[in-house]
C-alpha cells in the first residue's frame, strides 16, 4: 500500500508531479500543437461574477491556510483584488464584517475540518458566496459550499500534508489566471504562456525528487539541532511558514518562520553559534534584502542553508549550503520550492526515529474544535 516507500509521507511527496498534473489537466484545454487555455465550463465563476468581486476572504486551517497565503499574494499581485486570509478558529469567533461583493474561498484537504466548516457557515449566513477548494468529493465542505473546485491529489494518508498543499496551490494559480483574464489584467496569450509553464511543473518537480539524496545528507548533519529558523520575504515567507510547520509537526524540532525583515525586531537575539537557519530566497526583487539578512545571521554563527533560483551563484560564498531550484519563473517558484522543504522535514524526522506518518498528538482530520 505504500508502493515500496518506507512511509506514506515519502510516497505522497513523490506523488506530487502526478497530483499537479491531475489537478491542472481537467481545468484546461490542452491539445497537441495548440496553445493551452482555461476551460470556461470548469471555472467556478462566470465573467460577471468575477468582475463584481471587490474583496476575497480565504478561510482555512494549518497547511491549507499557508496555501491561502500564496493565493493571496498571487491574486493581489496579478488580479489586483484585495485578499485576506484567516484561520478558521479565529474567524469564527470574531463576528467578522462581511463586506458586500466578497468572495469567500475555503480550502480544506479533507473537507471535514470543524473550524473551516464553522467559518464557511458563518460566511454563508451573512449572505456571502463560498467557493471551496477540497480534495474529497462528497465531504461536508464540498456539499455545503456554493461552488466547488477539486484538487485531484488522491487520498492523503500521512498526517503531514504535502501533495494536497501543492495541488491547492495549483488551483489557486488557475483561479488567479481566470480572474486576471475576466478582469482584463492579462490577455489570452499571457494566460496561455503561464499555463504552458504550469504544464512543465510536474517534470521539474521530478527533477527535485531525483536529488533527494542531497537533502538527506543535509538532514543527517543537522537533525540533532534543537531549533531551526526559516526566513523569507514575500511568498518565501509564506513558504517558510509551511516549511516550519512540516518540520515541527513530524520531527518535534522547535522551529519558527520569520519574515526576514522582522529579524532585527527581536528574533535575531536567538541566533547563536550553530543555530540552523534555512533561508528561502527565490524572489529576484527581494534577493538583495535577503542577502543582507543572511549576512546578519551568518556573522552571529548560524549554519545557513539557502534555497535559490537556478543559476544564482551570488550567495555561494555567503552560506554553508545552497540548493538550486530547476529553472522556473519567480511567479511559480513556490510550487517547486516547497518540495525540498518537505523532504528536509521528512529526513530529519527519519534520522530522529519519529513516527513520521502518525506524529504524536495529531489527527489527520481535525473534526473537533
Ligand atoms: O483537511 P484540512 O486541509 O482542512 O486540514 C487542515 C489542517 O488540519 C492540516 O493542513 C494540518 O495543518 C496538516 N497536518 C499539516 O501538515
Name the percent of the chain lying above pLDDT 90: 85
Ligand 1 centre distance from Cα of residue 336 (Å): 20
Q: Please report the atom of ligand 1 found closest to the CA of residue 63.
A: 10
Name the percent of the chain lying above pLDDT 70: 100
Q: If pLDDT is split at 50, 70 and 90, which confidence band does 360 have? A: confident
Instruction: Give the separation between CA 100 and CA 86, rounded to whole angstroms.
Output: 18
Q: Please report the atom of ligand 1 found closest to the CA of residue 116.
A: 4
Q: Give one word for 327, left, alpha or beta, with left for phi > 0 and alpha for psi -120 to 50.
A: beta
**pLDDT value of residue 259:** 95
Q: All 3 cell numbers of residue 332? A: 511559480
**pLDDT value of residue 181:** 98
Ligand 1 centre distance from Cα of residue 251 (Å): 16
Question: Which is it for strands 147-150 and 227-232: parallel, antiparallel or unpaired?
Answer: unpaired
The residue written with cell numbers 543535509 in the block is 218
Residue 267 in this model has a pLDDT that exceeds 90: no
Q: Is the pTM above the cut of 0.90? A: yes
Ligand 1 centre distance from Cα of residue 61 (Å): 6
Rounded to an integer, the average pLDDT of 20-41 is 96
E strand or H helix at 225: none
Q: Please report the atom of ligand 1 found closest to the CA of residue 164.
A: 3
**pLDDT value of residue 68:** 98
Ligand 1 centre distance from Cα of residue 227 (Å): 23
pLDDT per residue as tens digits for the range 317-340: 999 999 999 999 999 999 999 999
Q: Please report the atom of ligand 1 found closest to the CA of residue 61.
A: 6
Rounded to an integer, the average pLDDT of 226-245 is 96
Residue closest via CA to ligand 1's atom 9 equals 62
Q: If pLDDT is split at 50, 70 and 90, which confidence band does 269 have? A: confident
Ligand 1 centre distance from Cα of residue 50 (Å): 28
Rounded to an integer, the average pLDDT of 177-204 is 98
Residue closest via CA to ligand 1's atom 12 equals 62
Least confident of 31-35, 116-120, 182-186, 276-280: 31-35
Instruction: Give the separation between CA 20 and CA 151, rounded to whole angstroms.
Output: 9
* Residue among 66, 85, 109 to mutate when testing ligand 1 (max atoms within 8 A of CB): 109
Ligand 1 centre distance from Cα of residue 239 (Å): 15
Ligand 1 centre distance from Cα of residue 162 (Å): 10
Residue closest via CA to ligand 1's atom 7 equals 62
Rounded to an integer, the average pLDDT of 52-57 is 97
Non-local CB neighbours of 31 within 8 Å, separated by 6+ positions:
none
**pLDDT value of residue 137:** 97
Residue 257 in this model has a pLDDT that exceeds 90: yes
Count of Cβ atoms closer than 10 Å to residue 365 Cβ:
16
Q: Please report the atom of ligand 1 found closest to the CA of residue 141.
A: 4
Residue 367 in this model has a pLDDT that exceeds 90: no
Rounded to an integer, the average pLDDT of 5-25 is 97
Instruction: Give the separation between CA 68 and CA 74, rounded to whole angstroms.
Output: 10
Q: If pLDDT is split at 50, 70 and 90, which confidence band does 235 have? A: very high
Residue 356 in this model has a pLDDT that exceeds 90: no
Rounded to an integer, the average pLDDT of 243-268 is 92
Residue closest via CA to ligand 1's atom 11 equals 62
pLDDT per residue as tens digits for the range 204-229: 999 999 999 999 999 999 898 889 99
Q: Please report the atom of ligand 1 found closest to the CA of residue 366.
A: 8
Residue 108 in this model has a pLDDT that exceeds 90: yes
Average pLDDT, the chain: 95
Q: If pLDDT is split at 50, 70 and 90, which confidence band does 270 have? A: confident
Residue 268 in this model has a pLDDT that exceeds 90: no
Q: Encode 234-268: b = buried (16+ Cβ within 10 Å), e = exposed.
A: bbbbbbbbbbbbbbbbbbebebebbbbeebeeebb
List ligand 1's pocket residues with C-beta within 6 A. 61-64, 108-110, 113, 116, 159-161, 245, 249, 365-366
pLDDT per residue as tens digits for the range 282-296: 999 999 999 999 999
* Residue among 366, 367, 368 to mutate when testing ligand 1 (max atoms within 8 A of CB): 366
pLDDT per residue as tens digits for the range 119-130: 999 999 998 999
Residue 362 in this model has a pLDDT that exceeds 90: no
11 in active site: no
Instruction: Give the separation between CA 368 and CA 104, rounded to whole angstroms.
Output: 22
Catalytic one of 2, 147, 185, 364: 364
* Residue among 58, 59, 64, 136 to mutate when testing ligand 1 (max atoms within 8 A of CB): 64
Amino acid at each position: 500500500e505504500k508502493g515500496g516507500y518506507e512511509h506514506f509521507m515519502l510516497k505522497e511527496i513523490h506523488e506530487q508531479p502526478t497530483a499537479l498534473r491531475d489537478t491542472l489537466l481537467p481545468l484546461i484545454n490542452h491539445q497537441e500543437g495548440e496553445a493551452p487555455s482555461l476551460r470556461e465550463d470548469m471555472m467556478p465563476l462566470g465573467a460577471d461574477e468575477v468582475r463584481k468581486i471587490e474583496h476575497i476572504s480565504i478561510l482555512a486551517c494549518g497547511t491549507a491556510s499557508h496555501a491561502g497565503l500564496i493565493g493571496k499574494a498571487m491574486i493581489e499581485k496579478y488580479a489586483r483584488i484585495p485578499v485576506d486570509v484567516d484561520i478558521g478558529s479565529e474567524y469564527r469567533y470574531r463576528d467578522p464584517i462581511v463586506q458586500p461583493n466578497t468572495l469567500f474561498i475555503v480550502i480544506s484537504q479533507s473537507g471535514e475540518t470543524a473550524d473551516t466548516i464553522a467559518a464557511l457557515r458563518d460566511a454563508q449566513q451573512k449572505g456571502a458566496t463560498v467557493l471551496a477548494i477540497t480534495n474529497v468529493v462528497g465531504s461536508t465542505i464540498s456539499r455545503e459550499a456554493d461552488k466547488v473546485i477539486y484538487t485531484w491529489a488522491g487520498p492523503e494518508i500521512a498526517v503531514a500534508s504535502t501533495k494536497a498543499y501543492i495541488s491547492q496551490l495549483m488551483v489557486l494559480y488557475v483561479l488567479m489566471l481566470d480572474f486576471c483574464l475576466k478582469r482584463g489584467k492579462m490577455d489570452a496569450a499571457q494566460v496561455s504562456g503561464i499555463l504552458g509553464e504550469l504544464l512543465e511543473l510536474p517534470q521539474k518537480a521530478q527533477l527535485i525528487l531525483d536529488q533527494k539524496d542531497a537533502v538527506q545528507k543535509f538532514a543527517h548533519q543537522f537533525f540533532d539541532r534543537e531549533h531551526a529558523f526559516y526566513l523569507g520575504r514575500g511568498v518565501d515567507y509564506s513558504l517558510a511558514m509551511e516549511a516550519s510547520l512540516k518540520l515541527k509537526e513530524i520531527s518535534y524540532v522547535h522551529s519558527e518562520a520569520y519574515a526576514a525583515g522582522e529579524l532585527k525586531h527581536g528574533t535575531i537575539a536567538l541566533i547563536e553559534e550553530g543555530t540552523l537557519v534555512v533561508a528561502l530566497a527565490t524572489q529576484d526583487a527581494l534577493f538583495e534584502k535577503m542577502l543582507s539578512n543572511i549576512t546578519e545571521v551568518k556573522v552571529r554563527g548560524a549554519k545557513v542553508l539557502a534555497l535559490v533560483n537556478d543559476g544564482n551563484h551570488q550567495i555561494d560564498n555567503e552560506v554553508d549550503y545552497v540548493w538550486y531550484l530547476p529553472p522556473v519563473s519567480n511567479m511559480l517558484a513556490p510550487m517547486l520550492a516547497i518540495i525540498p522543504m518537505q523532504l528536509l522535514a521528512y529526513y530529519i524526522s527519519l534520522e530522529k526515529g519519529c513516527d513520521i506518518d502518525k506524529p504524536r498528538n495529531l489527527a489527520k482530520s481535525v473534526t473537533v474544535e
